[in-house]
């Protein structure tokens, strides 16, 4: 077994523009053509990202989209390039699965932007599974907005709040202290078994607490994702006897398949602690796969440019601390699963290329690659069998 270790870190939604098929993806009625998460934030105010830029972030943005990002002009010292997705979705599972070597071979099921959004028989089945006389919501909505609007009615009736978005997802929000967390999880498991055969990507448990006027989500979200359609990088590593660590929501995204140890937290700061500890403690030959979600969940969907910028600058310090802990023979790759340009209209993800930034092989321009090439490269680094259709750039 190789002594080499690999750290694959997904900066959720940190896109860099330039997706060649962006015109086929929309926010409200506007195509995603021209969306560019990092460049547009930097054009609002210059970004200070010395560690990521030293690897090649600014150069990757210019390669992906031709855009100039103020503050990001370093000469690359690491692996750098831009990755393009082939899966027909700009969602979390599609991006992560393809990064791990498995492009999505089907079209996801999406709910119409109507009210009701769900077929009547599905709404009735959800209510039966919940043990209630009905459901609330049944529409496209922002999670924080719909809880603020329907939370009091939920407390009065006890019915779950069910909603969707532009993603292939069915979300269920309940008051954690009244409806019960374990009851919510059982409900989501039952609903996932019902909708996964229809190619709905995820059922998401969205618990909240508080009273009318002060409802707030808790950190006890749980995703029930459809299983990947083929062996992923995690599966292949585990089958080869390697230790695999899932940091953040990686376990949920991959249906807890191919994972030796889960490392969860209530915030990205907690996850950063896990990642840095694994840099010190993970065994030779191991794979650590991490997702940092707050760029997306707290700032991208809410179109909070200042918050997104601050989160990027905070994470750059995490990246620097990780690099300082890596050992000779280690590989670290920083990438993303899609975009979520906070300067864009709507509230949905944006179709973009993503950065590929790596430490461990010196300065190396890899050009425009595919998402699946990332997983293939990690497999080569770890001496694992080939994964998926990708080709290594190492």
Q: CA-CA distance, 330 to 208, in Å (whole number)?
A: 40
**Within 13 Å and on the Cβ side, how many CA atoms surround 51?**
18
Non-local CB neighbours of 112 within 8 Å, separated by 6+ positions: none
Inter-CA distances, 1 with 5, 6, 151, 282, 286, Å = 11, 13, 53, 14, 10
3 is in an annotated binding site: no
Residue 337 annotated as binding?
yes
Q: Is 301 annotated as a binding residue?
A: yes
Structure tokens at 284: 């030779």
Q: Does 316 show up as a binding residue in the annotation?
A: no
140 labeled part of a ligand binding site: no
Q: Are 61 and 69 in contact (CB under 8 A)?
A: yes
- Residue 334, phi then psi, degrees to nearest 5: -105, 125
Cα(385)–Cα(290) distance, rounded to whole angstroms? 21
H-assigned helices in 67-163? 92-99, 120-130, 143-157
CA dist., res. 312 & res. 316, Å (int): 6
Torsions phi, psi for 352 (to 5 deg):
-145, 160
Angle between helices 37-44 and 57-65 in degrees, nearest 10: 110
Residue among 4, 93, 82, 6 at smallest CA distance from 37: 82
Euclidean distance between CA atoms 135 and 67, whole angstroms: 46
- Distance separating alpha carbons of residues 157 and 92, to the nearest angstrom: 33
Do the annotations mark residue 223 as ligand-binding? no
Give the sign of the dihedral formed by CA 56, CA 33, CA 307, CA 334: negative
Separation between Cα atoms, residue 262 and residue 275, nearest integer Å: 11
Binding-site positions for Mn(2+): 12, 296, 301, 337-338, 349
Binding-site positions: 12, 296, 301, 337-338, 349
């Amino acid at each position: 077994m190789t002594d080499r270790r690999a750290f694959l870190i997904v900066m959720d939604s940190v896109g860099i523009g330039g997706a060649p098929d962006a015109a086929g993806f929309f926010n409200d009625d506007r195509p995603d053509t021209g969306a560019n998460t990092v460049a547009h934030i930097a054009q609002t105010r210059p970004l200070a990202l010395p560690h990521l830029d030293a690897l090649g972030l600014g150069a990757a943005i210019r390669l992906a989209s031709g855009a100039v990002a103020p503050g990001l002009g370093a000469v690359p010292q690491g692996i750098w390039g831009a990755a393009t997705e082939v899966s027909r979705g700009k969602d979390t599972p599609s991006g992560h699965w393809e990064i791990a070597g498995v492009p999505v071979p089907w079209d996801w099921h999406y709910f119409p932007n109507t009210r009701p959004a769900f077929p009547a028989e599905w709404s009735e089945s959800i209510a039966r599974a919940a043990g209630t006389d009905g459901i609330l919501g049944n529409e496209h909505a922002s999670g924080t907005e719909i809880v603020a609007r329907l939370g009091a009615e939920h407390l009065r009736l006890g019915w779950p709040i069910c909603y969707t978005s532009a993603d292939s997802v069915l979300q269920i929000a309940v008051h954690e202290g009244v409806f019960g967390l374990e009851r919510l999880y059982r409900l989501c498991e039952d609903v996932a078994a019902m909708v996964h055969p229809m190619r709905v990507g995820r059922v998401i448990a969205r618990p909240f607490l508080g009273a009318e006027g002060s409802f707030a989500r808790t950190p006890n979200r749980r995703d029930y994702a459809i299983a990947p359609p083929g062996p992923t990088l995690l599966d292949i590593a585990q089958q080869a006897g390697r230790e695999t660590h899932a940091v953040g929501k990686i376990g949920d995204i991959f249906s807890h398949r191919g994972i030796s140890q889960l490392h969860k937290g209530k915030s990205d700061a907690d996850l950063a602690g896990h990642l840095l500890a694994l840099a010190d403690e993970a065994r030779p030959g191991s794979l650590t796969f991490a997702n940092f979600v707050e760029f997306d969940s707290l700032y991208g969907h809410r179109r909070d440019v200042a918050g997104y910028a601050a989160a990027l600058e905070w994470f750059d310090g995490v990246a620097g601390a990780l690099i300082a802990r890596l050992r000779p023979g280690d590989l670290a790759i920083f990438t993303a699963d899609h975009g979520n340009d906070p300067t864009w209209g709507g509230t949905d993800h944006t179709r973009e290329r993503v950065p590929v930034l790596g430490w461990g092989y010196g300065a190396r321009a890899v050009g425009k690659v595919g998402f699946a090439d990332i997983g293939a490269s990690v497999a080569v680094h770890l001496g694992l069998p080939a994964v998926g259709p990708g080709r290594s750039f190492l």
